[in-house]
Amino acid sequence: MLKRRIIPCLDIKDGRTVKGVNFINLVDAGDPVELAKAYAGQGADELVFLDITATIENRKTLASLVERIASEINIPFTVGGGTDTIEDVAALLNAGADKVTVNSAAVKRPELISELAAQFGNQCIVIAIDTKFTDDEWIVFVNGGRTPTPLRTLSWAKRAEELGAGEILLTSMNNDGTKSGFSIDITNEVSTCQYSRYCFRWRRFDGAFQGGILQHRMQRGSGGKHFSLRGDRYKGSEKVSYEREYICTDVKPL
């Protein structure tokens, strides 16, 4: 039986992990390699690293960070941020990433998805979509959530799938970093596309995509996943610690 996945996601800026709320107010959250090791040790199924600054200089830093992660951890991981050419993707895969995310560049030139899928196989091409509920509709944003596009999220996800995206990594900008859970409505809509896999938690999704700095422990096995999330929430500058227990019993075959 194929299992649901728990996937911690680390936002990277200048080689450090950062944590924001609704994509702003970033605070330092530690060394990505140390965090990656901790997550892998606690039973995470995969990891995602997104370089949210994504300039040309940072891309080289990112490749060397990927090499460090690849040598330390024993689970699959996805890397992205500013990846807009076949060469960018090849560099990250060669450095040891299992999958690469593409976001703004695919919106700008959707054929890029087909080109990447043909070159590397669709299993390693993840299309990242940042979405925000705007004027009664879920709209796609690019450039790290700074620029709205005319694209509706559901139709863009379907198009990306048709072009060869192996997975879709959907982030709700309304919910990001607010500790209020996932946007179930848009995630549910997107996950009705037939073949792609989506990095989200809840009934019909294949994976949980957990951002932020959380410490969790999980057990792999046939009976489901039991895990707890502990972390620090920021209220302005005041830090509030919290802990929640989850039992994920939704492990029916996909």
Interface map 151-180 toward other proteins (x if CB under 8 A): ---------------xx-------------
Compute how many other C-beta atoms are within 10 angstroms of the C-beta atom of residue 251. Answer: 15
Residues of this chain, 10-39, that bind other proteins according to CB under 8 A: none
Q: Which of 74, 135, 245, 252 binds other proteins (CB under 8 A)?
A: 74
Q: Which lies closer to other proteins via its Cβ, residue 23 or residue 198?
A: 198
Q: Rounded distance, CA 72 to CA 31, Å?
A: 13
Q: Rounded distance, CA 88 to CA 100, Å?
A: 9
Burial of 114 (0-12, 13-18, 19+ CB in 10 A): middle
Q: Which of 45, 51, 88, 130 is catalytic?
A: 130
Cβ atoms 96, 67 nearer than 8 A: yes
Whether 130 is catalytic = yes
Q: Rounded distance, CA 61 to CA 120, Å?
A: 23
Binding residues for other proteins, rule CB under 8 A, total 33
Give least dist CB 97 to other proteins, A. 10
Q: Which of 15, 96, 149, 228 binds other proteins (CB under 8 A)?
A: 96
231 binds other proteins (CB under 8 A): no
Burial of 115 (0-12, 13-18, 19+ CB in 10 A): middle
Q: Which of 40, 79, 129, 151 binds other proteins (CB under 8 A)?
A: 40
**Sheet hosting strand 238-248, strand order edge to edge:** 214-215, 225-235, 238-248
What is the DSSP-derived secondary structure letter of residue 221?
Answer: S
Find the DSSP H helices in the chain: 32-42, 56-72, 86-94, 104-108, 111-120, 153-163, 184-190
Q: Where are the beta strands (DSSP E) in 122-212?
A: 125-134, 137-142, 147-152, 167-172, 197-198, 207-210
Give least dist CB 208 to other proteins, A. 12
Whether 98 is catalytic = no
Q: Which lies closer to other proteins via its Cβ, residue 54 or residue 69?
A: 69
Q: Which lies closer to other proteins via its Cβ, residue 5 or residue 13?
A: 5
Q: Which of 56, 57, 71, 136 binds other proteins (CB under 8 A)?
A: 71
224 binds other proteins (CB under 8 A): no
Q: Which of 57, 136, 194, 252 binds other proteins (CB under 8 A)?
A: 194
76 binds other proteins (CB under 8 A): yes
Residues that bind other proteins (CB under 8 A): 1-3, 5, 40, 43, 45, 70-71, 74-76, 93-94, 96, 98, 120-124, 166-167, 194-197, 206-207, 220-222, 254
